[in-house]
Chain A
Amino acid sequence: MQIKVLLFGPQAQIAGQSSIEIEVVGEAPTVADVLVALSEGEPALAPSLSVSRLAINQQFAAPGDAVRAADEVALIGMVSGG
């Protein structure tokens, strides 16, 4: 399944773009599967993924949550508000 992941702040800067398309194996991938695919698709992001979370449709998601093709997926990491 092809998934588009939105990127922000330093992670967008690392990837050089505000979103990344990744290929995730299987028809019912989980958040954990997407994070693995992200680290493989954009190795430069790998070090920051352990302190990042995915948001699915603008809600923080758990590693076991399902990701569907129509979902809006965003990588929320290295936040620095305030």
Chain B
Amino acid sequence: MSNSISVQLIQGPLDSDSRDHAAIGCGAQVVFDGIVRPQEEGAPIIGLKYEAYEPMTTRELMQLAERMIAKHGVSRICVEHSVGLVPVGKVSFRLIVESKHRKEGLQATDEFIDEMKRVVPLWKMAVHGQ
């Protein structure tokens, strides 16, 4: 696996700013943070609990990143996803895509997220308050 891909599953919410500087030659760094909203299917929640099926989850995320690099020509993709409980308002998913120009970075970001939500073994369960 190349060093242009990084995937991490992290217990709990993600740090507010854990990213590295963009690689030299990249004119664009797209950072997407997925934040837990206060409602799930119309009902108030206190957080989401995430579950993974390791090591398949990490491998599927890495393979998805490889496909996006090959398809869109972006330079680097970093993925962080929470497992366990993430409270409302906290970040549970971070995708960083680095590219020469913004067009391919934005396209790769959008397609990565669509595909991840469709096929990658990750699940969220709503946690309701008392």
Contacts and interface: CB of A to CB of B under 8 A. Distances in A.
B122 A10 contact: no
Interface in A38-60: 55, 58-60
A35 interface: no
Interface residues of A, number: 16
Given A58-B56, A79-B119, A81-B123, 15 more contacts: A10-B123, A13-B125, A55-B53, A55-B121, A59-B56, A60-B119, A79-B121, A80-B117, A80-B123, A80-B124, A81-B117, A82-B34, A82-B81, A82-B116, A82-B122
B51 interface: yes
A20 to B, nearest CB: 15
Contact of B124 (A6, A9, A55): A9
Contacts of B51: 8-9
B118 interface: yes
Contacts of B34: 82
Interface of A: 6, 8-10, 13, 55, 58-60, 74, 76, 78-82
B128 interface: no
B122 A6 contact: no
Chain A, interface SS category: mixed
Nearest to A53: B119
Interface of B: 34, 50-51, 53, 55-56, 59, 81, 93, 113, 116-125
B53 A8 contact: yes
A9 B123 contact: yes
Contacts of B122: 79-82
A74 B119 CA distance: 14
A9 B125 contact: yes
Nearest to A58: B56
Contacts of A58: 53, 55-56, 59
